[in-house]
Structure 1
Amino acid sequence: MSEYIVELDHVNKIYGTNHVVKDMNLHVKAGEFLTLLGSSGCGKTTTLRMIAGFEIPSSGSIRVEGESIEARQPFERDVNTVFQTYALFPHKTIFDNIAYGLRMKKVPKPEIRERVEEMLSMVQLEGFEDRYPAQLSGGQKQRVAIARALINRPKVLLLDEPLGALDLKLRKQMQLELKRLQKKLNITFIYVTHDQEEALTMSDRIAVMHDGIIDQVAVPSEIYEHPATKFVATFIGETNIFEGCIVEIAGRTCEVAVENGFVQANGDGFSNGEFVTISVRPEKIRFYKDDIGSFGLQGIVKDYIYVGSVLKCNIVLPNGNEVRAERLSGEEVPKVGEVVYVTWDVGDAVLLHNSDNTIYNALNNMPIV
């Protein structure tokens, strides 16, 4: 038996001339919290709706526990969906909202009461059963929607940006509650969001989508530390991007000519003369008033931004591009306007293939080699 509970193989969705989901392959493990992450229009919600049965794939196969479900109606699939808009019945009590699915299945009344009370306890809403949705806060409504979906004991719970309408503080609280519920119930969650921090906080694995394609599927630390593409590097958190050409590879270290000088990165899997993109996170950037002897791009400190425990620094390079770096608050740092040398450890730079060998705007400003 397959270790995957949900499998999408070569799934496509086309609306007229708009190819929304392109030859998608995605396998979700049982009991996993997997997040589809991407910007608006990337195809993540369409993918979720195809799994739920609200959209029909143009081609490809969708399986749950090894059984093909493309031809099944939404109510025939062992999956439930939680929407951002909650979709609660305003004229029904909280008890009746949660019990709705069981009543449609003609479950005996004593069992309905027992299971509703279990759900109310699980989402910490005991004593709210006689209230109506209009009497609840946004976070409470969201918990009711989750309880209504979970009471049917689905094999897979689909969540389409369910926290998007909540304020920041409540959103962060609900992130922890959702993760706690998922681990307690051991139900597979497939979660859609455009919020990178939310995805990193909650997920066992993240599938980063871009223009209908999955760029990378990996655990959060892998997505952040070792992005597979330039899009993933720039979409997840902050990063510094340098474009250049490899001029020398010595062992595992390669030297890259960029617009402002020479830099270094791990060159495993790359070739001399190849055009590449380098991604370096701000917390990996180091800068000094004096040339320390290794490679260092010269720049001028533009400003500092204080954000609590971290001091963010913007450094302007000779071509006008800015490098973002971070230091701990309280550290001694060069003054605004001073010349500094920007560097990093070779292992902290992520080297990415540039498939179209882009000729960069300032190619003429690269060092002559």
Structure 2
Amino acid sequence: MEDKEIIVQLKNVNKSFGDNQVVKNLNIDIYKGEFLTILGSSGCGKTTTLRMIAGFETQTSGEIFVNGKEVRDEEPYEREVNTVFQNYALFPHMTIYENVAFGLTMKKIPKDEIKKKVTHMLELVQLSGFESRKPDQLSGGQKQRVAIARALVNEPKVLLLDEPLGALDLKLRKQMQFELKRLQKKLGITFIYVTHDQEEALTMSDRIAIMNKGNLEQLSVPRDIYEHPATEFVADFIGESNIFYGVVDEKNASDVRISLENGLISAGCADVEENEIVYVSVRPENTAISECPVDGFELSGIIREHVYVGSLTKTIVELFNGNQIKINTFSKQPVLPEGMQVYVYWHPEDAVVIKSPSNVIFGTIENINFGSGE
């Protein structure tokens, strides 16, 4: 997407509340017509970032551009953005038509044009025929669609969405995810979406920006985020992952051998050096067990539990240092008995090697004798 037009740009943006710095040197280019999700846990700075783009907060330092214009001194209503909030913020005394038309009415748009725009927008969000109802006569999903229609009818360059599906039940939430994506593609408007829900981000987004403690951890397409996490935090935060900490023992043309606290593992070729401390991330669906040792692996443990979850069976293997490994297999496949000693392995190319930010390995003892199994 590098050849596309940048519609929102954050350059070296910082935000502090007193001594608490909640956004740290944030740099993001957001492209025209894309669905970008800012994903992270509570307190990571994602909503503050959205509020700075909207104009409800002012950055402590750095610059924010919308459609090529620096917006620090612009009020929220002067920016070419509109915001949809989780609580809908509909006017209870107004009809659905009046709610959607509110922004256009305030701009003194001719009534005939307002009717044309509102009617078209209600068709897009599949609420034709609801014009005369009041908000308290609608379901949660319908209210959310009204809030989206009210924001989109003003034809903003960018639509900001702050966890808009958070108040909906799971089934309706999943339905609205696809409706939002359909709407965004049809209109071609840039959506900047904030959520803490990883599955939601993977389902809807063209790209995902993952934040952690005010820092941008990774910005990429969903598949790359899932299959090639750039940091240990991303590997652990997105979906399930088996994460190992170790030292590069040997590097070959095709793979690397890594010594762990309780064994040896193999991973695909990576930009690391011998004796370097690294993380290794392997998804449960890429992890396997064998009754016999597998070449390149010296990682054994005991099967503690099989958990049936519909189409999948989750197998828990406890290593001899107490760490637990998760293995996902299709439920129709046979499983080995609980209590059996097995050997954990994977195809080396399915393991992601991540550089450690320091020479400290969490959860291990300083100066440990790697590979000893003691």
Q: TM-score range by the shorter chain?
A: over 0.9
Do structure 1's residue 86 and structure 2's residue 88 form an aligned pair?
yes
- Structure 1 range deviating more: 326-335 or 176-185: 326-335
The alpha-carbon distance between structure 1 residues 297 and 368, as it changes in their structure 2 partners (threshold 3 A), is closer
Contact 1:233 1:279 in 2 (8 A): yes
**Structure 1 equivalent of residue 153 of structure 2:** 151
Counterparts of 2:256 and 2:355, CA distance in 1:
13
Per-residue deviation at 1:361? 4.2
Deviations 1:284-329 (A, max 9, x none): 0010112234414111111111111111100010011100001111
Contact 1:288 1:334 in 2 (8 A): no
Supply the AA of the counterpart residue of 1:101.
Answer: G
**Structure 1 equivalent of residue 10 of structure 2:** 8
Q: Give 1:43's match in structure 2, choosing from 17, 42, 45.
A: 45
**Structure 2 equivalent of residue 284 of structure 1:** 286
- Structure 1 range deviating more: 17-26 or 265-274: 265-274
Deviations 1:30-62 (A, max 9, x none): 000000000000000000000000001111111
- Structure 1-normalised TM-score? 0.98
Contact 1:247 1:273 in 2 (8 A): yes
**Structure 2 equivalent of residue 335 of structure 1:** 337
Contact 2:257 2:296 in 1 (8 A): no
Per-residue deviation at 1:67? 1.0
Contact 2:40 2:211 in 1 (8 A): yes
Counterparts of 2:89 and 2:270, CA distance in 1:
51
Supply the AA of the counterpart residue of 1:204.
Answer: D
Do structure 1's residue 70 and structure 2's residue 61 form an aligned pair?
no
Q: Give 2:236's match in structure 1, choosing from 234, 237, 247.
A: 234
**Structure 1 equivalent of residue 259 of structure 2:** 257
Counterparts of 1:307 and 1:361, CA distance in 2:
30
Deviations 1:260-283 (A, max 9, x none): 110111242101111111110000
Supply the AA of the counterpart residue of 1:176.
Answer: F
Partner of 1:47, secondary structure, is helix
Supply the AA of the counterpart residue of 1:247.
Answer: D
**Structure 1 equivalent of residue 132 of structure 2:** 130
Alignment of 1:185-264 (within 5 A): 185-264=187-266
Contact 2:264 2:296 in 1 (8 A): no
Counterparts of 2:224 and 2:161, CA distance in 1:
23
Partner of 2:278, secondary structure, is strand
Identity among equivalent positions (%) equals 57
Contact 2:261 2:370 in 1 (8 A): yes
Instruction: Give the CA RMSD over aligned residues.
Output: 1.4
Partner of 1:54, secondary structure, is coil
- Structure 1 range deviating more: 354-363 or 160-169: 354-363
**Structure 1 equivalent of residue 371 of structure 2:** 367
Q: Give 1:17's match in structure 2, choosing from 16, 19, 39.
A: 19
Per-residue deviation at 1:356? 1.4
**Structure 1 equivalent of residue 107 of structure 2:** 105
Supply the AA of the counterpart residue of 1:26.
Answer: I
The alpha-carbon distance between structure 1 residues 296 and 330, as it changes in their structure 2 partners (threshold 3 A), is farther
Supply the AA of the counterpart residue of 1:132.
Answer: K
Contact 2:312 2:328 in 1 (8 A): yes
Contact 2:246 2:361 in 1 (8 A): no
Number of residue-to-residue matches in the alignment: 369
Counterparts of 2:370 and 2:157, CA distance in 1:
56
Counterparts of 2:199 and 2:372, CA distance in 1:
41
Ranges of 4+ aligned residues in structure 1 off by more than 4 Å = none
**Structure 1 equivalent of residue 321 of structure 2:** 319
Per-residue deviation at 1:368? 4.7
Counterparts of 2:190 and 2:306, CA distance in 1:
44
Unaligned runs of at least 5 residues, structure 1: none
Deviations 1:177-230 (A, max 9, x none): 000000000000000000000000000000000011111000000000000000
- Structure 1 range deviating more: 171-180 or 114-123: 114-123
Deviations 1:85-119 (A, max 9, x none): 00000111111000000001000001111111111
Counterparts of 1:47 and 1:359, CA distance in 2:
31
The alpha-carbon distance between structure 1 residues 92 and 360, as it changes in their structure 2 partners (threshold 3 A), is closer
Supply the AA of the counterpart residue of 2:305.
Answer: D
Counterparts of 2:223 and 2:186, CA distance in 1:
23
Partner of 2:151, secondary structure, is helix
Per-residue deviation at 1:355? 1.5
Contact 1:301 1:314 in 2 (8 A): yes
Deviations 1:144-194 (A, max 9, x none): 000000000000000000000000000000000000000000000000000
